[in-house]
Amino acid sequence: MDRKKFIRNTVKAMVGAAASGAALKSESKSQPGVYTEKVGFNHLPPRTSSLSTKKEETMKTILHTADSRGHANHGWLDSHHTFSFANYHDPKRMHFGVLRVLNDDVVAPGRGFGTHPHDNMEIISIPLSGDLKHEDSMGHKAIIREGDIQVMSAGTGIFHSEYNANDHKEVKFLQIWLFPKNKNIEPRYDQVSIQEMAKNNSFYQVLSPNADDPGVWIHQDAWFHLGDFDSGITQTYHVKKQQNGVYVFVLEGEIDIHGQKLSARDGYGIWDTGQFDVKTNKKSKVLLMEVPMN
């Protein structure tokens, strides 16, 4: 698939993403104008009074193994999609809460995404290796490297391009989209180095809703943490906001969460709990994405 066709499909996916948000609610026949959330969408069971107290709380999970992801190889781009994107569509894999896109991308030397539009989406890029060249309609020009994190609040609308900045090696990066807390905000861009924040054998924060926090901030009640761990380490993650869930994505190694083993590029959604333990079975690198579920 050439880049123009790929970009057209991506824009279609964005329109579908917006439509899927509307599909979450239906109008009450007995009370016109009153909308209720549909039950069971995206693996979420109905909330009952049995979940109303911490004592009665039961952790719920969903497993997405690495080999169950969508895959597209366009020659210049090799991409794995945890959630429906472009030509990959699975109605059971639309999103996890407000986490809409988790793409694991490899871009060939000197190639990339030509100028294309986004709106009303929080877009996060995390390079895993290599260098990514960015330009946008807000006037930003930057190189994003391993050890950096970039965020764009697309808001009322932006255009941007992303290219492999090198002509001799691939660039690997995560592209993550979240639905924003509020629509039609003023677009913004930010990029920081997270290398100095890194702590061995501990999760460290790289994204939050607060401009004064470490890392970047976005227009959503979300927190991202990274962790580089030796084998045999156990860390407890405490959920920052009630009714948020956490999507665990294993970048390297093998971990165990309450008996569930996860290997590289496995994803694991967790909700209806205030905390959970992450144990490493070997040297591992893990990304935690805490997001609102509703």
Q: Where are the alpha helices (DSSP H) in the chain?
A: 3-22
pLDDT at 54: 46
* Whole-number Å distance between alpha carbons of 262 and 249: 9
CA distance to 86, 188, 202, per residue, from 208 (Å): 28, 15, 17
Instruction: Mention every residue, 6+ apart, whose C-beta is less than 8 A from residue 114.
Output: 3, 4, 7, 161
Q: How many structural domains compose the chain?
A: 1
Range of the domain at 92: 3-292
Contact between 290 and 241 (Cβ < 8 Å): yes
Provide the residue type at 29 as one letter.
K
One digit per residue, pLDDT tens: the chain, 294 residues? 554 455 455 545 444 444 444 333 433 433 444 333 332 334 333 333 333 344 336 899 999 999 999 999 999 999 999 999 999 999 999 999 999 999 999 999 999 999 999 999 999 999 999 999 999 999 999 999 999 999 999 999 999 999 999 999 999 999 999 999 999 999 999 999 999 899 999 999 999 999 999 999 999 999 999 999 999 999 999 999 999 999 999 999 999 999 999 999 999 999 999 999 999 999 999 999 999 998
pTM of the model: 0.82
At 16, give phi and psi (nearest 5°).
Answer: -65, -35
* Whole-number Å distance between alpha carbons of 79 and 96: 19
Q: What pLDDT digit, counting tens, does each position of 29-65 carry? A: 334 443 333 323 343 333 333 333 443 368 999 999 9
List the structure tokens of 280: 């490493």
Reading across the β-sheet that carries 254-257, which strands appear in turn? 234-238, 275-280, 254-257, 260-263
Specify the DSSP element, H or E, that contains 255.
strand 254-257
CATH of residue 12 = 2.60.120.10
